[in-house]
Amino acid sequence: MTRTVTLSDGTVLPALGMGTWNMGGIQGEQMDRERESLGYGLKAGLSVVDTAEMYGHGRSESLVGEVLHYNKADRFVVTKVLPENASFERMEAACTTSLRRLGLRCVDLYLLHWRGTVPLRETVEAFRRLREKGLIKRWGVSNFDVDDLMELERYIRPGECAVNQILYNLEHRGVEYDLLDAGRFRNIVTMAYSPLGQGMALLQHPALQKIAARHTTSAGPATPAQIALAWVLRQRNILAIPKASSLAHLKANIAAQEINLTQDDLAELDAAFPPPVRKMPLDMI
Ligand code: NDP
């Protein structure tokens, strides 16, 4: 069954979306593969596409715009404003530039990429003005820890901040100590970025290989990446956005939703990647 999350305004989204960092940078066959992967994902119902003005200085947004132009499937487009553009004066120009690249009149979700020097209260006012002007449907934040959410709460109405996008995977479990619950408590959906550990050391871990050997999906024998993704996706209120430039990876990620980890699997993962026992500073990439 396709897992979903529900935003504070009642919008229901698939819990598996698509990241696009580093996409759109290399012309030719690589970009063809990226177009193919994103297009396939949209058709398969992965409507949430995550990008940012920062990614490739706009090249990721342009690629997403191109894919959306040729694909009429449901879409829910997320992009992010850089901290230096998150002021009352600069945010509208940054947003309209992103919209032009994306070929959209309105973005579904606009996130503050991380906190900078612009006061949070001012960023909130800037988001509100874009919403009033119809340039964004809703807004959220990224790389916010519990104290940041508590400060934000002082300036907003309940439910106004839709999402907090944070680093979350088996290697980075610190957020389980308090931040995941802080989001649930405030009706803020957590978007888990880099759920596959950027495809690096995590996927070589023997524990993941051992557990993968015990599972299969409709796409074939399970892989360590699918186990890592299934582990993130098993949790309520979390939307994961792995990046897959290749169709094979994208299909594997879709099939990972079929995997139900057993209590034994979860215990083995806890032993290999221990959960936090105290407050940890929020990791970010
Ligand atoms: P991920 O954890 O999603 O890993 C991506 C890597 O994993 C790529 O090399 C990809 O290969 C590989 N991969 C994907 N699927 C599979 C699979 N089934 N089997 C094996 N390997 C696989 O890392 P990202 O850092 O890209 O994070 C995901 C997204 O989160 C980003 O693209 C971006 O949209 C967002 N993000 C947000 C941040 C923020 O500050 N808000 C920071 C970092 C990321 P290939 O591409 O070749 O298919």
pLDDT digits (tens, 9 = 90+) for 190-205: 999 999 999 999 999 9
Which pLDDT does position 27 carry in this prediction? 82
Mean pLDDT of 171-178: 98
pLDDT tens profile 19-58: 999 999 888 899 999 999 999 999 999 999 999 999 999 9
Rounded to whole angstroms, the Cα distance separating 16 from 5 reads 9
Protein residue closest via CA to atom 16 of ligand 1? 249
Which pLDDT does position 249 carry in this prediction? 98
Ligand 1 atom, smallest distance to 195 CA: 2
pLDDT tens profile 78-133: 999 999 999 999 999 999 999 999 999 999 999 999 999 999 999 999 999 999 99
Residues 273, 184, 64, CA angle at the centre, nearest 5°? 80
Q: Which of the four pLDDT bands, split at 50, 70 and 90, describes residue 1?
A: low
Mean pLDDT of 145-154: 98
Protein residue closest via CA to atom 9 of ligand 1? 199
What distance in angstroms lies between residue 132's CA and the mean position of ligand 1's atoms?
33
Q: Which of the four pLDDT bands, split at 50, 70 and 90, describes residue 2?
A: confident
What distance in angstroms lies between residue 228's CA and the mean position of ligand 1's atoms?
12
Which pLDDT does position 95 carry in this prediction? 98
Q: Is 195's C-beta closer than 6 angstroms to any atom of ligand 1? A: yes
Mean pLDDT of 10-14: 98
What residue spans define the domains of the chain?
13-199+235-246
Residue 200 sits at φ, ψ, to 5 deg, of: -105, -130
Q: Is 202's C-beta closer than 6 angstroms to any atom of ligand 1? A: no
Q: Is 245's C-beta closer than 6 angstroms to any atom of ligand 1? A: yes
**From the CA atom positions of the chain, what is the Rg in Å?**
18
Q: Which fold has domain 13-199+235-246?
A: TIM Barrel (3.20.20)
Inform me whether the pLDDT recorded for 76 exceeds 60: yes
Alpha helix positions (H), the chain:
29-43, 59-69, 91-102, 120-132, 146-153, 179-185, 206-212, 224-233, 247-255, 263-272
In the three-class reduction of DSSP (H, G, I as helix; E, B as strand; rest coil), residue 152 is classed as helix
Q: Is 142's C-beta closer than 6 angstroms to any atom of ligand 1? A: yes
Q: Is 17's C-beta closer than 6 angstroms to any atom of ligand 1? A: no
Residue 20 sits at φ, ψ, to 5 deg, of: -140, 15
Mean pLDDT of 207-212: 98
Q: Which of the four pLDDT bands, split at 50, 70 and 90, describes residue 219?
A: confident
Token readout for 188 is 């803020």
